[in-house]
């Protein structure tokens, strides 16, 4: 039997595999994005037969599939799943995996490291002992290391064996429908494209608010904090997509280059500008969460005011905020245009990323009736909120796994972007320590501490609050 693509998932009994990867592969098979002769090898330490694992996985697919589950589709797909028990920390265990692969002719390998970064090196060492795997695709998840230095070493090892062009670093925000749509909305609409600069735009906001707290992830989160967990990767990716120059063509190389130029142009922050750049917060009760230090000063909320020092953006602040327990779940981008007069509300273009996917424009009209008063109104396009228009867009992982299979690199993080972002955030962290910047407490259900609200207000701006 010939296997076109062999997908090996390390960490096959973990949450990510059950909630995201297996349901995504199930849909990909249904929708023709995963070939019928592809095989999924699940690697874990527990003892399962193929059938036992399939039965377990089926329950997760039933729960998390974005399309209605059908028995027939599951039966067809589940035959491709094989469970292979091994301790991937044991270098001697890999010879058995070699035997497993050798039973069939395999067109291409793709590895998914759904494990902690501490194991990336170990697994890579193990795979090196097998024949013919150099040059395979490998997918990894952030965090890419405990420290920037550790991540750098790890990256070199991965790139050395698999090749830089075969490392797919998942940033699942890049798989979201409306983040991928930002480019189109911006570049394919001259009324926006022509106004996409500091002459026309007063401020830009990127907001990623969560309703939940740290839940079971207190251990990881307390060491990371909002800056590293959200800003450094997801929000800086969105920032660079929003702000980049139009690439000559939309290849991944050109897109990555333009994104990188944005990060390079971020205005450096020093101790004297830190207070006008960063506000940190921690929700009340965070220190009582499981696995969180009772004296933790980790931020669960961060608000930022950044500048991009290039011709397009000089003078336009980029406001970023993210946090947990904010009383809402909402990721969106807001472009606030300059006002026509000081008395008039600004036009605001909002791209809603989640949970609603859509676009709306706040603009000005005459108040209806016998008056010439000017009042704001809202033109709305909602992709997934109106029943009749309901479009069930692919899940981020489905989209990103498909992109990886097809060798589309545009929507994965490049190492140089990661390194720049990481350096920027590490520098901020050092300034926070040096200046003893406070971490303001906030009540759960608030959109961060009062100081976060005050940050844009000090400069005549405000966070764009959803009115529906």
Read off the DSSP letter of residue 312.
Answer: T
Region from 2-10, 47-55, 216-224, 340-348 binding its own copies, contact rule CB under 8 A: 340-348
Q: Which of 280, 279, 278, 201 is nearest to 242 (CA)?
A: 201
Can residue 458 be called a binding residue for its own copies (CB under 8 A)? no
- CA–CA gap between residue 376 and residue 407 (Å, rounded): 45
Query: Please, which residue, 153 or 253, has the CB nearer to its own copies?
Result: 253
Bridge partners of residue 377, in order along the sequence: 363
By the rule CB under 8 A, 20 interacts with its own copies: no
Of 297 and 393, which has the nearer Cβ to its own copies? 393
CB of 361 to its own copies, least distance (A): 6
Task: Assess 402 for contact with its own copies (CB under 8 A).
Answer: yes
| Beta carbons of 457 and 317 less than 8 angstroms apart | no
- Single out the catalytic residue among 109, 172, 234, 256: 234
**Applying CB under 8 A, which part among 8-16, 303-311, 364-372, 423-431 lies near its own copies?**
364-372
Stretch of 13-21, 64-72, 107-115, 363-371 contacting its own copies, by CB under 8 A? 363-371
Note whether 250 binds its own copies by CB under 8 A. yes
Residue among 130 and 182 whose Cβ is closer to its own copies: 182
Least Cβ distance, residue 220 to its own copies (angstroms): 31
Which of 71, 149, 248, 370 contacts its own copies by CB under 8 A?
A: 370
Instruction: Output the smallest distance, CB 180 to its own copies, in A.
Output: 6
Q: Which residues pair with 140 in a beta bridge?
A: 113, 169
- CA torsion, ordered 378, 382, 388, 390, to nearest 10 deg: -170
460 contributes a contact to its own copies by CB under 8 A = no
Q: Does 177 bind its own copies (CB under 8 A)?
A: yes
Work out how close the CB of 242 gets to its own copies at its nearest, in angstroms, rounded to a whole number.
Answer: 15
Q: Is 363 in the site for its own copies (CB under 8 A)?
A: yes
Phi, psi of 265 (to 5 degrees): -90, 0
Whether residue 99 contacts residue 55, with contact meaning beta carbons closer than 8 Å, is answered with no
Residue 340 interacts with its own copies (CB under 8 A)? yes
DSSP-assigned letters across all residues of 351-385: EEEESS-EEEEEEEEEPSSS---EEEEEEEEESSS
Cis amide bond preceding 355, omega within 30: yes
Check if 234 is active-site.
yes
Cβ-Cβ contacts under 8 Å for 10 (sequence gap 6 or more): 43, 88, 111, 112, 113, 114, 115, 119, 123
Tell whether residue 399 is a contact of its own copies (CB under 8 A).
Answer: yes
Q: Decide whether 185 or 444 has the Cβ nearer to its own copies.
A: 185
Helix (H, G, I), strand (E, B) or coil at 10: strand
Nearest to 109 by CA among 413, 400, 405, 399: 405
Give dist(CA 274, CA 246) in Å, integer: 31
Q: Out of 69, 119, 192, 415, which residue is the one contacting its own copies (CB under 8 A)?
A: 192
Contact call for residue 67 and its own copies (CB under 8 A): no
Q: How many whole angstroms separate alpha carbon 113 and alpha carbon 100? A: 18
Q: Please tell me whether residue 466 binds its own copies under the rule CB under 8 A.
A: no
Residues that bind its own copies (CB under 8 A): 33, 177, 180-181, 183-185, 187-195, 200, 250, 337-341, 344, 347, 349, 357, 359-361, 363-366, 368-370, 372, 374, 377-381, 383, 391, 393-394, 399, 402
Which residues are tagged catalytic? Answer: 234
């Amino acid at each position: 039997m010939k296997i076109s693509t062999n997908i090996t998932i390390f960490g096959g009994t973990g949450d990510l595999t059950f909630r995201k990867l297996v349901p995504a592969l199930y849909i990909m098979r249904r929708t023709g994005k995963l070939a019928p002769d592809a095989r999924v090898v699940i690697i874990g330490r527990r003892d399962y037969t193929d059938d036992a694992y399939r039965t377990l996985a089926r329950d997760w697919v039933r729960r998390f599939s974005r399309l209605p589950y059908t028995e027939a589709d599951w039966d067809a797909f589940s035959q491709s799943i094989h469970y292979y028990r091994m301790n991937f920390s044991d270098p001697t265990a890999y010879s058995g995996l070699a035997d497993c692969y050798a039973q069939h002719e395999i067109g291409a390998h793709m590895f998914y490291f759904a494990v902690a970064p501490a194991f990336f090196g170990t697994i890579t060492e193990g795979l090196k002992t097998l024949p013919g795997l150099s040059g395979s695709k490998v997918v990894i998840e952030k965090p890419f290391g405990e420290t920037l230095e550790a991540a750098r070493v790890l990256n070199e090892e991965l790139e050395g064996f698999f090749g830089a062009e075969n490392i797919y670093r998942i940033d699942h925000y890049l798989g979201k429908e409306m983040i991928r749509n930002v480019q189109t909305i911006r570049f394919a609409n001259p009324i926006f494209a022509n106004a996409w600069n500091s002459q026309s735009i007063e401020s830009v906001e990127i907001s990623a608010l969560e309703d939940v707290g740290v839940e079971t992830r207190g251990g990881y989160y307390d060491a990371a904090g909002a800056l590293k967990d959200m800003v450094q990767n997801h929000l800086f990716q969105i920032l660079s997509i929003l702000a980049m120059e139009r690439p000559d063509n939309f290849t991944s190389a050109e897109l990555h280059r333009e994104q990188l130029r944005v990060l390079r142009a971020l205005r450096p922050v020093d101790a004297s500008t830190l207070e006008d750049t960063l506000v940190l917060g921690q929700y009340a009760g965070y220190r009582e969460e499981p696995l969180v230090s009772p004296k933790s000063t980790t931020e669960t909320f961060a608000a930022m005011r950044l500048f991009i020092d290039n011709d397009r953006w000089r003078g336009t602040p980029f406001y970023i905020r993210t946090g947990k327990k904010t009383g809402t779940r909402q990721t969106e981008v807001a472009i606030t245009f300059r006002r026509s007069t000081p008395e008039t509300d600004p036009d605001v273009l909002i791209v809603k990323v989640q949970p609603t996917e859509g676009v709306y424009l706040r603009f000005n009209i005459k108040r209806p009736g016998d008056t010439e008063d000017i009042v704001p109104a809202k033109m709305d396009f909602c992709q997934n909120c109106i029943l009749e228009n309901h479009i069930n867009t692919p899940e981020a992982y489905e989209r990103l796994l498909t992109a990886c299979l097809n060798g589309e690199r545009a929507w994965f993080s490049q190492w140089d972007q990661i390194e720049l972002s990481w350096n920027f955030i590490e520098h901020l962290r050092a300034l926070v320590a040096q200046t003893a910047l406070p971490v303001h407490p906030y009540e759960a259900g608030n959109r961060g501490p009062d100081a976060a609200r005050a940050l844009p207000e000090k400069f005549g701006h405000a966070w764009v609050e959803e009115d529906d």
